[in-house]
Structures are given as structure tokens and as C-alpha cells.
């Protein structure tokens, strides 16, 4: 025996039945307001997944998936289930539809989705949990550093507190 406690996880869950995450913590209120209309449900954590995260995210019309951002160490991937979001990748834009997927390798261009349609968008997002990750927000005076406990610490680009 390893001496570690046995943690029992569910075999399966209904994704839509999981509670949505609260609004982003640590962001200044003006930046957090940019994410109004986004509803994110964490799917991997209830199963004890530690190496990657999975979220089911819904965007109402006009909502954005996140601030325009780029990770230094984390890969991300999305799969559109419903709706027609617009992918903003660097300075380019592309309309996506159900069945489309996109990947964002660590160190790549900044990206986010925005729902410019009149209907809702539903998509899966998957990202690894690389230790020591940092994230840049080129359109906002913000940067993030992953702490050893896995939580994010946000500061202004110059490192000053929010």
C-alpha cells in the first residue's frame, strides 16, 4: 500500500448538472465585466484529473470566452458543440461552427472566442496544467502567474498589484 488515502470519484456525471464557476476571481472589476455572459462548468476536477482540465463553456450573445490571452507553458484546445463563435487569433478572426475545433500551443499567439451571433454558443475547452505557467493579456494591463498551489496571481504588466 502507498499510504495515500483512497479518494472515491464518480463514475459519470451529467455535465449540465454541475454548478457553474463563480465569476473570475482576481481580475479588476472592469476586466471581469468583459466576461459577463460566460458560464463555465469544470468537468475534470470531480473525477480527480490533475494533469489537464476540461470545461464546458456557454457564451450568451455578445459574451467572450476570456480576455485576449496567450499562455507561456499551457496548451489549450476547444471543440464547438453548438453555435457559431468567432475565434480571434492574434489579429485574425475566423467564424467557427458546431464540429469545428482549434488548438493553441504554449507560446503561440493570443486568442479568445467571442459570440457575435444571436444564439448561444456551447463548447468544450481542454488545457494542460503545466507548472510555472504564465499568461499575457496583450489588450489589457494584466498578466498572470501560476502559483505553486495551482492558483493564479494577477498583476499589472509592470508587476504592480491590481
Q: Which domains does the chain have, with CATH numbers?
A: 26-155 (2.60.120.10)
pTM: 0.91
- Beta-strand ranges (E) seen in 22-158 are 38-42, 52-59, 70-71, 76-82, 86-89, 92-95, 101-104, 111-114, 121-128, 134-137, 142-146, 152-155
pLDDT tens digits, the chain, 162 residues: what are they? 456 677 788 899 999 999 999 877 778 888 888 999 999 999 999 999 999 999 999 999 999 999 999 999 999 999 999 999 999 999 999 999 999 999 999 999 999 999 999 999 999 999 999 999 999 999 999 999 999 988 889 999 999 988
- Among candidate residues 123, 91, 83, 130, the one with its CA nearest the CA of residue 110: 91
Q: How large is the C-alpha radius of gyration of the chain? A: 16
Amino acid at each position: 500500500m502507498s499510504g495515500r488515502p483512497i479518494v472515491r470519484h464518480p463514475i459519470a456525471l451529467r455535465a449540465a448538472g454541475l454548478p457553474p464557476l463563480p465569476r473570475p476571481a482576481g481580475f479588476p472589476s472592469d476586466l471581469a465585466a468583459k466576461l459577463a455572459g460566460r458560464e463555465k462548468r469544470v468537468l475534470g476536477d470531480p473525477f480527480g484529473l490533475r494533469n489537464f482540465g476540461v470545461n464546458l463553456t456557454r457564451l450568451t450573445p455578445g459574451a467572450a470566452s476570456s480576455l485576449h490571452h496567450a499562455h507561456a507553458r499551457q496548451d489549450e484546445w476547444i471543440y464547438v458543440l453548438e453555435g457559431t463563435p468567432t475565434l480571434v487569433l492574434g489579429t485574425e478572426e475566423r467564424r467557427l461552427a458546431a464540429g469545428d475545433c482549434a488548438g493553441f500551443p504554449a507560446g503561440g499567439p493570443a486568442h479568445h472566442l467571442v459570440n457575435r451571433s444571436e444564439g448561444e454558443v456551447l463548447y468544450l475547452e481542454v488545457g494542460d496544467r503545466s507548472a510555472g505557467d504564465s499568461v499575457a493579456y496583450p489588450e489589457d494591463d494584466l498578466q498572470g502567474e501560476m502559483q505553486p498551489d495551482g492558483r493564479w496571481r494577477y498583476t499589472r504588466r509592470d508587476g504592480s498589484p491590481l
